[in-house]
Amino acid sequence: MSDILSTPQLSGLSEGKVQISFASSHHSLDSNNSKQSRINVDGRSLPERIPAFGLLMAFLSVFCFSIASVIVRFETTLPAIQILVIRSSFQFVTYFITTLIYRYSFFGQAGHRIDLMLRSFSGTIALSAVYVSYRLIPLSDASTIHFASPVFVTVFAYFLLKEPFTKLQIITGTITLTGVIIIAKPEFLFGAESATIHEMRFEGTMLAVLASMVAAFSMITLRKLKTTPVSVVVMWFSSSLIIFGSLYLTIAQKWTMPTETRTWRNMVIVGICGIFDQYLITLAFQYEKAGPISVVRTFNIVLSFLWEVLLLGEQIQLTSVLGACLICSCVIVLALAKWNKESPDTFDQIRRKFCCFCPTICFPQNVPDTRRKQRMNKSANKKRITTDVEGN
């Protein structure tokens, strides 16, 4: 981790740029180029040495997030917001010290400070809402709705950026909304439950939807902070959570002192997971496109179902599985479409490796020029043969 934390601008690493100054100017240009090439190869940073570094960071982030989520679910002796404040305190101390050691600017880079502030506020709302929802509805339901944020990104793009909806976005948006309704199980469709269960399910679902929508906005701001050190981003995000969370707990008089050793141990685990979660997901967005990351993040839904069965001992409902399948499939489809749009060459290589049975007509814009020319030549040959036969 220190290999990455010591780098002031992560965007430079992702492009493989290494700045080197030569003391002497008496060497020839060829000699300088050979030295530059040799240093770049021998002195590659950690992200450059690991294949699919951004995707790996996203997967590890999802794992850390899921571990913290399941602890919030069964550790009911403390309010969910207090657990979040404790987690944020671990994050703040760690990244505050890191910022001091490497002498980063505490306020980020000029021109991106508003984005840094928006990232902190939006992240505070999203994480607070989803943590509370873990106590009101099953973990798998809250996680499924929370990670549907890529669908809401298209909605924000329509209203804020005036980007028109595509047919794919309309279809996936409709299916996602259907999945949320199935998970929420409204009374007029699924019949009446007890008043307490119905009220908690409705509130928990609305909080999870709010978390998903705000997380979508947070993703947009995070992509704008490519040149801001990770530690600075997480430090301000954590400080925002501590301030607003502590203010809420004080006003509501919900501060609770842990009394059991198990509770203290779980809080330490949540804090450590929070440190790595925020660092890894910020790093992932700085080294990888949003599309592939969205695909990897859907694995959190699978982990949530797994933890519910193995650790929480809860019975999984069929409606939860159906809603999760609908939402997860829409997120994956949108992520693949975005990936195809952002990096068509890379996407086409991956598609042909893992989906060799899929016809290239599905992605005609990714067909290499040589293959396109071969198809055109075959078509022209067929026409010429047909003309010759008719002439004879």
The number of folded domains in the chain is: 2
Highest-pLDDT range among 306-310, 351-355, 362-366: 306-310
Is the model's pLDDT at 196 over the cut of 70?
Answer: no
Same domain, 247 and 383: no
Q: How many CB atoms lie within 10 A of CB 354?
A: 9
Is the model's pLDDT at 16 over the cut of 80?
Answer: no
> How confident is the model at residue 104, as a pLDDT?
92
Least confident range from 28-37, 78-87, 89-98, 102-111: namely: 28-37
Please report how many Cα atoms fall inside a 13 Å half-sphere around the Cα of residue 296, on the Cβ side: 24
Of 326, 342, 358, the residue at which a domain comes to its end is 342
Q: Is residue 193 part of a domain?
A: yes
Same domain, 313 and 338: yes
Residue with tokens 């989520």: 69
Same domain, 333 and 368: no
Long-range contacts of 94-102 (CB under 8 A, 24+ apart): 94/275, 95/230, 95/231, 95/232, 95/234, 95/235, 95/238, 95/275, 95/279, 96/235, 98/5, 98/231, 98/235, 99/229, 99/231, 99/232, 99/235, 102/5, 102/6, 102/8, 102/229, 102/231
Same domain, 297 and 363: no
Band of pLDDT at residue 254, cut at 50, 70 and 90? very high
The helix/strand/coil state of 146 is helix
> How confident is the model at residue 272, as a pLDDT?
95
Of 133 and 198, more confident: 133
Same domain, 267 and 370: no
Of 84 and 201, more confident: 84
Q: Where are the alpha helices (DSSP H) in the chain?
A: 2-5, 10-14, 29-42, 46-49, 53-74, 80-101, 113-136, 139-146, 149-160, 167-184, 187-190, 195-223, 230-251, 261-287, 290-297, 299-310, 318-342, 344-354, 369-391
Band of pLDDT at residue 97, cut at 50, 70 and 90? very high
Same domain, 374 and 235: no
Same domain, 295 and 353: no
- For residue 326, the enclosing domain spans 53-342
Q: In the structure encoding, which two tokens stand for residue 306, read together?
A: 């797994």
Q: Is residue 27 part of a domain?
A: no
Q: In the structure encoding, which two tokens stand for residue 76, read together?
A: 């009911």
CB 144 within 8 A of CB 324: yes
Q: In the structure encoding, which two tokens stand for residue 183, read together?
A: 């998970």
Q: Is residue 23 part of a domain?
A: no
Supply the mean pLDDT for the chain: 76
> How confident is the model at residue 193, as a pLDDT?
55
> How confident is the model at residue 9, as a pLDDT?
39
Q: Longest C-alpha distance within the chain, in Å? A: 98
Of 241 and 46, more confident: 241
> How confident is the model at residue 117, as a pLDDT?
92
Same domain, 122 and 261: yes
- Average pLDDT (199-222) is 84
Q: Is residue 4 part of a domain?
A: no
Q: Is residue 45 part of a domain?
A: no
> How confident is the model at residue 355, as a pLDDT?
60
Q: Is residue 129 part of a domain?
A: yes
DSSP codes joined into one string, 182-245: HHH--HHHH----HHHHHHHHHHHHHHHHHHHHHHHHHHHHHT-TTS-HHHHHHHHHHHHHHHH
Q: How far apart are the first and last CA of the chain?
A: 75
Round to whole Å and give the CA distance between 150 and 216: 6
pLDDT digits (tens, 9 = 90+) for 117-170: 999 999 999 999 999 999 998 888 998 888 888 777 777 767 766 667 788 888
CB 238 within 8 A of CB 91: yes
- Average pLDDT (211-222) is 83
Same domain, 355 and 219: no
Q: What percent of the chain has pLDDT over 90?
A: 27
Q: Is residue 158 part of a domain?
A: yes
Highest-pLDDT range among 239-243, 274-278, 359-363: 239-243
> How confident is the model at residue 374, as a pLDDT?
53
Band of pLDDT at residue 189, cut at 50, 70 and 90? low
Q: How many CB atoms lie within 10 A of CB 159?
A: 8
Same domain, 324 and 361: no
Is the model's pLDDT at 300 over the cut of 90?
Answer: no
Round to whole Å and give the CA distance between 249 and 256: 9
- Average pLDDT (7-28) is 38
Same domain, 115 and 252: yes
Same domain, 334 and 351: no
Is the model's pLDDT at 87 over the cut of 60?
Answer: yes
Read off the amino acid at residue 341. Answer: K
The 10 Å CB-count burial string (b at 16+, else e) for 362-390 is: ebeebbeeeeeeeeeeeeeeeeeeeeeee
Q: Is residue 223 part of a domain?
A: yes
Round to whole Å and give the CA distance between 82 and 246: 8
